[in-house]
């Protein structure tokens, strides 16, 4: 009754850490190969749950002890591991997001931290609109949108220009939605603008002959997992106090703000940020001050664990500044 091909369950983790003001993810990098997210098989014999399995092989492979872990999505696409010599074995991969603080320990050999905006450079608006958008991406997307939807007969609800407006805030300025990371990556893939689309033999790549590298590509669909992680983290920030998983136990409000900005990819309004964080009861002063700030010494704060008991939904909501 059950036609059972050889199926393997893989666990992929986007392990995020902010170091030096830049968000990083842990990657395993082999010479001449695109980067890959840490990957481990799920062996039900050894591990009772997927989460436990993940923590275990991350510890073994990298020496890192994960704190916050959250399941993102399970991908089962045929062809996601398509190779020239695809033998018909299939991998269903479960993507995870994990957060760790800036750890002085370097991970084990074979793995390293890489800037996540290296993979998705159009997501970092902290220094204004990324030039890669205006110069490379938008002109090509416009060309792609002007094409008829010929071969994609799957009657999408939205037209291509509409999708551009929504995902990339074209036409209307300043309604860039920082949470649409995944939608943007998938649109770029569909338009043949991600190197992975070419690798996978996607038809849309025929449009482009002079294509520069738009963000560093990754193996398999790992860049999609990364985009999912970024979407989720940017969204979750606003209603759950997950940001503190990236911070040391004690920190200044400015440090907190910089971490939030690093994740969101844009600046926030300083004064309001501080007030909102304090009024929300998210933090409490430790009593100490830090003089290493380059200005007036700053009070040090710690995360108030009690907020977990108090408010059902809480986080750092904040528009640009």
Q: Which parts of this chain interact with DNA (CB under 7 A)?
A: 252-254, 269-272, 274-276, 279, 289, 291, 293-299, 317-321
Tell me how far, at minimum, the Cβ of 309 lies from its own copies, in Å. Answer: 6
Q: Could you tell which of its own copies, DNA, none binds residue 299, using a CB distance below 5 to 8 A set by kind? A: DNA
For 12, 79, 91, the CA distances from 76, given in Å and listed in that order, are 13, 9, 7
Which one among 3, 87, 291, 292 touches its own copies, defined by CB under 8 A?
3
d(CA 153, CA 282): 49
Q: Does 201 bind its own copies (CB under 8 A)?
A: no
Q: Could you tell which of its own copies, DNA, none binds residue 207, using a CB distance below 5 to 8 A set by kind? A: none
Q: Could you tell which of DNA, its own copies, none binds residue 13, using a CB distance below 5 to 8 A set by kind? A: none
3-state secondary structure of 255: helix
d(CA 162, CA 149): 13
Which one among 156, 305, 317, 321 touches its own copies, defined by CB under 8 A?
305
Of 81 and 258, CB closest to its own copies: 81
Which one among 36, 114, 132, 166 touches its own copies, defined by CB under 8 A?
166
Closest to 126 (Cα-Cα) out of 266, 270, 18: 266
Closest to 250 (Cα-Cα) out of 203, 214, 292: 292
Which 67-86 positions form the footprint of its own copies (CB under 8 A)? 71, 73-79
Of 75 and 273, CB closest to its own copies: 75
Residues 6+ apart with CB under 8 A from 178: 123, 125, 234, 264, 265, 266
Of 127 and 175, CB closest to its own copies: 175
Q: What is the 3-state secondary structure (H, E, C) of 45-111?
A: CCCCCHHHHHHHHHHHHHCCCCCEEEEEEEECCCCCCCCCCCCCCEEEEEEEEEECCCCCCCCCCCE
Of 273 and 303, CB closest to its own copies: 303
Q: Could you tell which of its own copies, DNA, none binds residue 293, using a CB distance below 5 to 8 A set by kind? A: DNA
Q: Does 272 bind its own copies (CB under 8 A)?
A: no
Closest to 246 (Cα-Cα) out of 229, 235, 233: 233
Tell me how far, at minimum, the Cβ of 255 lies from DNA, in Å. Answer: 7
d(CA 285, CA 312): 23
d(CA 293, CA 304): 23
Q: Does 174 bind its own copies (CB under 8 A)?
A: no
Q: Are 125 and 80 in contact (CB under 8 A)?
A: no
Of 73 and 125, CB closest to its own copies: 73
Residue 80: burial class (beta carbons within 10 Å; 0-12, 13-18, 19+): middle
Which one among 21, 29, 44, 156 touches its own copies, defined by CB under 8 A?
44
Q: Does 8 bind its own copies (CB under 8 A)?
A: yes
Q: Which residues bind its own copies (CB under 8 A)?
A: 2-5, 7-9, 41-50, 53, 71, 73-79, 88, 90, 92, 94, 157-158, 162, 165-166, 175, 177, 179-180, 305, 308-309, 312
């Amino acid at each position: 009754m059950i036609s059972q091909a050889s199926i393997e369950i893989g666990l992929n983790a986007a392990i995020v850490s902010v170091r030096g003001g830049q968000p990083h993810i842990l990657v395993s990098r082999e010479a001449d190969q695109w980067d890959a997210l840490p990957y481990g098989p799920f062996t039900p014999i050894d591990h009772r749950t997927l989460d436990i399995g993940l923590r275990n092989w991350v510890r073994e492979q990298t020496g890192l002890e994960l704190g916050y872990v959250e399941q993102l999505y399970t991908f089962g696409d045929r062809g996601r591991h398509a190779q020239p010599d695809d033998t018909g074995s299939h991998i269903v991969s479960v993507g995870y997001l994990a957060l760790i603080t800036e750890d002085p320990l370097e991970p084990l050999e074979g793995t390293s931290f890489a800037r996540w905006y290296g993979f998705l450079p159009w997501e970092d608006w902290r220094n204004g609109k990324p030039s890669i958008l205006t110069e490379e991406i938008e002109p090509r997307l416009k060309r792609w949108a002007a094409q008829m939807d010929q071969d994609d007969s799957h009657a999408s609800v939205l037209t291509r220009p509409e999708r551009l407006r929504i995902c990339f805030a074209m036409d209307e300025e300043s309604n860039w939605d920082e949470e649409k990371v995944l939608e943007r990556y998938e649109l770029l893939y569909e338009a043949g603008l991600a190197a992975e689309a070419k690798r996978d033999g996607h038809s849309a790549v025929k449009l482009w002959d002079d294509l520069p590298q738009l963000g560093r590509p990754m193996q398999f669909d790992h860049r999609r997992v990364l985009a999912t992680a970024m979407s989720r983290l940017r969204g979750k920030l606003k209603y759950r106090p997950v940001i503190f998983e990236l911070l040391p136990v004690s920190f200044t409000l400015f440090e907190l703000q910089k971490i939030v900005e690093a994740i969101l990819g844009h600046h926030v309004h300083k004064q309001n940020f501080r007030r909102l964080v304090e009024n929300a009861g998210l933090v409490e002063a430790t009593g100490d001050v830090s003089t290493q700030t380059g200005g007036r010494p700053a009070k040090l704060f710690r995360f108030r664990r009690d907020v977990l008991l108090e408010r059902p939904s809480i986080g750092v909501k904040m528009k640009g500044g």
